[in-house]
Chain A
């Protein structure tokens, strides 16, 4: 009897998942229709409904960002473009719109290191996401294992395979270390976007401290440290200061 129940569950589980996906799709398509009709607020409500249900999808993020942009909320627009870019870093549509949006911000933040070499590194960095880091690491692990097998199975070719085994092993452990560092960095120091019109950044984590500078909507920051409701943020042009955590949304 138990086996029969288990079998029924196993059959019904994919069906229910398929139904949920279809339900999400109908909501998404309806939101797209509203968007096409110029009913941006209604479209946003539907997209937000999907987001609240936990749907993580680059197309959904992209359309949500477009809707926010149309509604003039460029902070949230940037936030969702960045989230879409994190999922699909090679999406040209996302990149184009994000570039345009960055150019239309009220405050243009010039990076601290604006030389071409740093720009190129930064550009490459935008193509790297956690999924890619994991894939690279898994590929190198597989390569390392395969070469190790060849080394063991072909004693006559050990001179050649030994070199490849060491190289792939070193590369695998390097990628493992880099992956851990990357994940720690993104977990503990996530990037954030200013979603308020203006955020006053203070010199110390107390209300009475002096204001160091003001950030404007759509500006990008990096979380450096958090203390209760206060966070220390770093702006790419080198400025640092304290502000309340609820002033930002993190990517």
Chain B
């Protein structure tokens, strides 16, 4: 196992050495362009088609080749550029050669008919200029013989391109071909077809240089509307609809709309009855629009540059508002002209007030006579003066092409009743009287002997934090100590209550012992102490707090005594008092024994309660 691993490592090291050797050899290889060729895919093309010019450079060990320089091509326009390359590496006797074929593909669109020479294409590399041979291309009307080869099915079956063009075509028709600057032109691109369409995709969209564009509709799928043209039934789809507003005068040719279309072509042979797909480019017809300048006589200033119909309306949110409160007014404009290029109109108030443009909403409505653009401007108005406030807009001058006149839009003003006191008449917030209203700027604060600074706030100062800390800490500590002490006291009381019976019993045992030893006086004292201790502990107080006078009320409060218990209690207290404080010293043991028994019975009965 170990030996195999070592052998593997040796092979790896050897491979790395070989690769390094090759790399060193490669660095000494020469770099050059072996050949440069140019070719066109066809020598004869129709003016509606394109020709592919391919420039191929074969190089050796060239890492980066500069782009070729095309000659002047006044008869063609370059509509597309592509590049491609292939690479091959050969190692002969350790010498590595990197061969590359670099292709530059140009799609040229003929601009006019005739025979034209495409001059040499050149590449300059490391001070050497490489050139191709000139090429000749003939451009003919319609489709050349060569071009017609393109209109074949895969199996070589020719396609009647004329019939195909009649079966499927795109027609664009402007509503007007001669307009003035700013006047709306609606273009509709419609696809007509009476053959099966397999697929369709946009190749190039028309550009509308010189126009402001407002898209109305762009198709996302084919429709199946039927339309009859020259007694032929077609299925039609509206592909695109756009409203154009010319920006400057002149004659404008619009680029066509080009679709990459795949149709199902059926033939009469037995294998072609189900049809075969055929892909080609379908383009719309050319459109030319003449744009004339606006007629003279317009206003020197204040012209809105709206050309078409214009309606202007002012509305409001409410008819009555208090001075100082806000309300809203709306200016709604609707026009076939271009509203996208105008500024929001300025509101004019008949009384003092404030106006802000708070919202703008743009929309469009398509009607029979064209596309109407709408703008809804929302203004916030804060009237400051009471009375009737008329809200008007500045004059908007537009050109009406049908009548050929400049017209001033003059809507009815919106009237608002402003209630309450005018803002200007309000009293000042502080002070009263003329002095307060006028201000007293001649008065200044008097001279001082010392000018001291003033802390803006105690907050953040050390005293602020110190005061908080001391007060909160002291209060907290005091609270804790007090709570602890009260808790201890409460616990002690509870302990006494629980242990009262046992304590009393223990004392009574002592009394019994004294009795047995004939110490009658001590025995009576113990009996008395046992009763008073029991009652006091049950009450949560000390035995000193309970006296012969208050023992009965305290016991009643604690135990809800019955009559017998009351009598026993009185007997025990009275007997003890009599025994302890009597001058007659001779006491009989039997009497003390009875007293002891009575006391034991009393405490037991109280405990059971």
B457 at interface, CB cutoff 8 A: yes
B440 at interface, CB cutoff 8 A: yes
- Assess whether B475 is in contact with A179, with CB atoms less than 8 Å apart: no
Name the A residues within 8 Å of B482 (CB-CB). 152-153
A185 at interface, CB cutoff 8 A: no
- Assess whether B451 is in contact with A21, with CB atoms less than 8 Å apart: yes
Name the B residues within 8 Å of A131 (CB-CB). 455-458
Q: A86-B456, A99-B439, A149-B475 are in contact. Are A59 and B448 (CB under 8 A)?
A: yes
Pick the residue among A50, A69, A148 that contacts B475 (CB under 8 A). A148
B66 at interface, CB cutoff 8 A: no
Pick the residue among B326, B356, B450, B478 that contacts A149 (CB under 8 A). B478
Q: Which of B225-233, B411-419, B430-438, B505-513 contacts A (4 or more CB under 8 A)?
A: B430-438
Q: Which of A5-13, A60-68, A189-197, A198-206 contacts B (4 or more CB under 8 A)?
A: A60-68
Q: A70-B441, A141-B468, A237-B382 are in contact. Are A56 and B457 (CB under 8 A)?
A: no
Residue of B nearest to A131 (CB): B457
Name the A residues within 8 Å of B464 (CB-CB). 134, 138
- Assess whether B458 is in contact with A96, with CB atoms less than 8 Å apart: no
- B-facing residues in A1-25 (Cβ within 8 Å): 18, 21-22, 24-25
CA distance A18 to B450 in the complex (A): 8
Pick the residue among B428, B441, B447, B454 that contacts A99 (CB under 8 A). B428
- A-facing residues in B392-445 (Cβ within 8 Å): 423, 428-431, 435-441, 443-445
- Assess whether B451 is in contact with A32, with CB atoms less than 8 Å apart: no
Q: A96-B440, A99-B430, A101-B439 are in contact. Are A28 and B457 (CB under 8 A)?
A: no
A239 at interface, CB cutoff 8 A: yes
B205 at interface, CB cutoff 8 A: no
State how many angstroms separate the Cβ of A61 from the closest Cβ of chain B.
Answer: 9
A228 at interface, CB cutoff 8 A: no
Per-residue 0/1 for B457-493: is the Cβ within 8 Å of any A Cβ (1 yes, 0 no)?
A: 1110000100110011011001100100010000000
- Assess whether B440 is in contact with A25, with CB atoms less than 8 Å apart: no
- Assess whether B444 is in contact with A108, with CB atoms less than 8 Å apart: no
- Assess whether B459 is in contact with A130, with CB atoms less than 8 Å apart: yes
- Assess whether A50 is in contact with B459, with CB atoms less than 8 Å apart: no
Name the A residues within 8 Å of B437 (CB-CB). 99-100
- Assess whether B439 is in contact with A134, with CB atoms less than 8 Å apart: no
Pick the residue among B326, B435, B467 that contacts A96 (CB under 8 A). B435
State how many angstroms separate the Cβ of B488 from the closest Cβ of chain A.
Answer: 14
CA distance A142 to B464 in the complex (A): 12
Name the A residues within 8 Å of B438 (CB-CB). 100
Residue of A nearest to B482 (CB): A152
Q: A96-B440, A101-B439 are in contact. Are A57 and B454 (CB under 8 A)?
A: yes
Name the B residues within 8 Å of A24 (CB-CB). 450-452
CA distance A211 to B472 in the complex (A): 54
Residue of A nearest to B458 (CB): A134
Name the A residues within 8 Å of B443 (CB-CB). 66, 93
State how many angstroms separate the Cβ of B467 from the closest Cβ of chain A.
Answer: 7
- Assess whether A29 is in contact with B447, with CB atoms less than 8 Å apart: yes
B449 at interface, CB cutoff 8 A: yes
CA distance A38 to B438 in the complex (A): 20
A95 at interface, CB cutoff 8 A: yes
B325 at interface, CB cutoff 8 A: yes
Name the A residues within 8 Å of B526 (CB-CB). none
Name the B residues within 8 Å of A121 (CB-CB). none
Q: A29-B448, A95-B431 are in contact. Are A110 and B454 (CB under 8 A)?
A: no
B384 at interface, CB cutoff 8 A: yes
Q: A69-B441, A135-B458, A179-B459 are in contact. Are A55 and B451 (CB under 8 A)?
A: yes
- B-facing residues in A93-112 (Cβ within 8 Å): 93, 95-97, 99-101, 103, 108, 110, 112
Pick the residue among B356, B428, B453, B459 that contacts A134 (CB under 8 A). B459
Q: A35-B444, A70-B441, A138-B467 are in contact. Are A95 and B430 (CB under 8 A)?
A: yes
CA distance A27 to B450 in the complex (A): 10
Per-residue 0/1 for A143-169: is the Cβ within 8 Å of any B Cβ (1 yes, 0 no)?
A: 011001100110100000000000000
B354 at interface, CB cutoff 8 A: yes
Pick the residue among B423, B435, B439, B454 that contacts A58 (CB under 8 A). B454
Interface range for A: 35 or more
- A-facing residues in B194-210 (Cβ within 8 Å): none
Name the A residues within 8 Å of B430 (CB-CB). 92, 95-96, 99
State how many angstroms separate the Cβ of B460 from the closest Cβ of chain A.
Answer: 9
CA distance A183 to B445 in the complex (A): 29
Residue of B nearest to A64 (CB): B444
Name the B residues within 8 Å of A92 (CB-CB). 430-431
Name the B residues within 8 Å of A129 (CB-CB). 456-457
Q: A50-B451, A110-B423, A134-B464 are in contact. Are A152 and B479 (CB under 8 A)?
A: yes
Name the B residues within 8 Å of A96 (CB-CB). 430-431, 435-436, 439-440
- Assess whether B354 is in contact with A239, with CB atoms less than 8 Å apart: no
Per-residue 0/1 for A111-122: is the Cβ within 8 Å of any B Cβ (1 yes, 0 no)?
A: 010100001000
- Assess whether A97 is in contact with B429, with CB atoms less than 8 Å apart: no
CA distance A70 to B441 in the complex (A): 8
CA distance A142 to B472 in the complex (A): 9
State how many angstroms separate the Cβ of A112 from the closest Cβ of chain B.
Answer: 8
- Assess whether B450 is in contact with A141, with CB atoms less than 8 Å apart: no
- Assess whether A145 is in contact with B456, with CB atoms less than 8 Å apart: no
Q: A18-B450, A93-B443, A95-B431 are in contact. Are A141 and B471 (CB under 8 A)?
A: yes
State how many angstroms separate the Cβ of A120 from the closest Cβ of chain B.
Answer: 10
State how many angstroms separate the Cβ of B148 from the closest Cβ of chain A.
Answer: 56
- Assess whether B457 is in contact with A54, with CB atoms less than 8 Å apart: no
Name the A residues within 8 Å of B182 (CB-CB). none
- Assess whether A130 is in contact with B457, with CB atoms less than 8 Å apart: yes
B324 at interface, CB cutoff 8 A: yes
Pick the residue among B384, B429, B472, B486 that contacts A110 (CB under 8 A). B384
A221 at interface, CB cutoff 8 A: no
CA distance A141 to B384 in the complex (A): 47
A123 at interface, CB cutoff 8 A: yes
A79 at interface, CB cutoff 8 A: no
CA distance A55 to B455 in the complex (A): 10
Q: A35-B444, A134-B464 are in contact. Are A99 and B451 (CB under 8 A)?
A: no
Residue of A nearest to B430 (CB): A95
Name the B residues within 8 Å of A100 (CB-CB). 428, 437-439
16 additional contacts, CB 8 Å, given A110-B324, A112-B326? A21-B452, A22-B450, A25-B450, A28-B447, A32-B445, A32-B447, A36-B444, A62-B444, A96-B440, A97-B441, A138-B464, A141-B468, A145-B474, A145-B475, A152-B482, A213-B356
Give chain A's interface residues, CB within 8 Å of chain B.
Answer: 18, 21-22, 24-25, 27-29, 32, 35-36, 50, 54-60, 62-63, 66, 69-70, 86-87, 92-93, 95-97, 99-101, 103, 108, 110, 112, 114, 119, 123, 126, 129-131, 133-135, 138, 141-142, 144-145, 148-149, 152-153, 155, 179, 183, 213, 237, 239
Give chain B's interface residues, CB within 8 Å of chain A.
Answer: 324-326, 354, 356, 382, 384, 423, 428-431, 435-441, 443-459, 464, 467-468, 471-472, 474-475, 478-479, 482, 486
Q: List 6 A-B contacts (CB under 8 A).
A: A60-B451, A93-B443, A114-B324, A134-B457, A152-B478, A179-B459
Task: Report, nearest first, the 9 A-B pairs whose CB atoms are least far apart.
Answer: A100-B439, A59-B445, A130-B457, A24-B451, A95-B430, A99-B428, A29-B447, A21-B450, A25-B451
